[in-house]
Amino acid sequence: MVVLTLLAPEIAELAKPGQFVQVRLGEARSAAILPRPFSIYDAHTSQGSIEILVSPVGLVTKRLFELDAGGSLVCLGPLGMPVELPSSGSVCLVSGGAGVAPMPFIAKEALAHGLEVIWVHGARSADFASTEYLGGQVFLSTDDGSKGFKGSVVELVTEKFIDGDAVFACGPIHMLAQLSKVRPHAYVSIETYMACGFGVCLGCVIPLVDGSLTRTCVEGTFFRSDVVDWITLLRELT
Ligand SMILES: Cc1cc2nc3c(=O)[nH]c(=O)nc-3n(C[C@H](O)[C@H](O)[C@H](O)COP(=O)(O)OP(=O)(O)OC[C@H]3O[C@@H](n4cnc5c(N)ncnc54)[C@H](O)[C@@H]3O)c2cc1C
Ligand code: FES
């Protein structure tokens, strides 16, 4: 994974933790490719820049991964709802793999409000684990046990009784579904396929337990996990 710094003063000025941007490759020949959503990893108002974390999985992310300094991109944002932090106490940030992407910005804001930050991060192995944690306690799990707890990040949360006044989670959909069983009050970032990113195409809707549908790009991407209809969502997304 790499962190890309984008000079985007208008976005940096408005960005709040939990929001994302839609990124499109700058070249004219990429105009027909849909933009891809990326969580805002950090924002620096004074430098007019934002950061995104890129995990190279396919067409666009591999091109972003290889981008040279000074290259240009089309970037739209900030999009989505910011997360709401508790007025006091602790914030627990649970992430799997590239799901760590929204966490540094949330942690920065939480620390600025005097909140305790608890990081819980899971990765396939030590080589794939995030190494950037801003303040607070860090709990790490790896599937192969090469670093930290051996097992999933949800098993780690459960076995070590890790919790917070607010829990924010991001990662693979099955991880979030498992976490919802043990921490139903957690706010989970649901990363669906997106097209527009601002509420028009309805390509990102997810089912809720009350039978309604909601757009992840506008009403989310973070939802309290006990409002999500996980059975239907898992059937649709996997
Ligand atoms: C709100 C949101 C925030 C995101 N934040 C980040 C981030 O900070 N860093 C990051 O690296 N990625 C993030 N993603 C995922 C990122 O948008 C996808 O990895 C990207 O769309 C893949 O594009 P691609 O052209 O490289 O892959 P493609 O060539 O389009 O697809 C390659 C593979 O990835 C799968 N894939 C494509 N999109 C998604 C998706 N949204 N979720 C799961 N699998 C997908 C495809 O099914 C395919 O198997 C986020 C997604 C959302 C919805
Ligand atoms: S991505 Fe178009 S409505 Fe959400």
DSSP 135-181: SSEEEEEETTSSSSEES-HHHHHHHTT---SEEEEES-HHHHHHHHH
CA of 151 to the centre of ligand 1 (A): 24
CA of 203 to the centre of ligand 2 (A): 5
Is the shortest distance between the CB of 217 and ligand 1 below 6 Å? no
d(CA 152, CA 155): 5
Q: Residue 120: name the closest of 173, 164, 86, 56 by CA.
A: 164
Provide the 10 A C-beta neighbour count for residue 169: 27
Q: Whose CA is nearest to atom 40 of ligand 1?
A: 193
Task: State the pLDDT at residue 29.
Answer: 65
Is the shortest distance between the CB of 57 and ligand 1 below 6 Å? yes
Scanning the structure block, which residue is given the tokens 């390509």? Answer: 203
For CA atoms 215, 218, 222, 226, give the dihedral sign: negative
pLDDT tens figures, 138-169: 999 999 999 999 999 999 999 999 999 999 99
pLDDT tens figures, 97-126: 999 999 999 999 999 999 999 999 999 999
d(CA 151, CA 206): 29
Q: Which of 76, 202, 223 to mutate to test the pocket of ligand 2 (most atoms within 8 A of CB)?
A: 202
Instruction: Give mean pLDDT, residues 198-226.
Output: 96
H runs (alpha helix) in the chain: 9-14, 59-65, 103-112, 153-159, 173-182, 216-219, 230-237
CA of 193 to the centre of ligand 2 (A): 9
Provide the 10 A C-beta neighbour count for residue 67: 15
d(CA 202, CA 12): 27
* pLDDT grade for 136, boundaries at 50, 70 and 90: confident
Task: State the pLDDT at residue 155.
Answer: 96
Is the shortest distance between the CB of 20 and ligand 1 below 6 Å? yes
Task: State the pLDDT at residue 168.
Answer: 98
The pLDDT > 70 percentage for the chain reads 98
Closest ligand 1 atom to the C-alpha of 63?
A: 26
* Spatial CB neighbours of 30, under 8 Å, sequence gap ≥ 6: 24, 63
Q: Which of 19, 30, 38, 73 to mutate to test the pocket of ligand 1 (most atoms within 8 A of CB)?
A: 38
Instruction: Give mean pLDDT, residues 47-60.
Output: 94
Is the shortest distance between the CB of 38 and ligand 1 below 6 Å? yes
The pLDDT > 90 percentage for the chain reads 82
C-beta separation of 118 from 137 below 8 A: yes
pLDDT tens figures, 2-42: 999 999 999 999 999 999 999 998 776 666 788 999 999 99
Provide the 10 A C-beta neighbour count for residue 33: 13
Is the shortest distance between the CB of 221 and ligand 1 below 6 Å? yes
Q: Say yes or no: domain 90-237 is CATH 3.40.50.11890.
A: no
CATH number of 2-79: 2.40.30.10
Q: Whose CA is nearest to atom 18 of ligand 1?
A: 36
- Every domain of the chain with CATH number 3.40.50.80 lies at 90-237
- Every domain of the chain with CATH number 2.40.30.10 lies at 2-79
d(CA 102, CA 207): 23
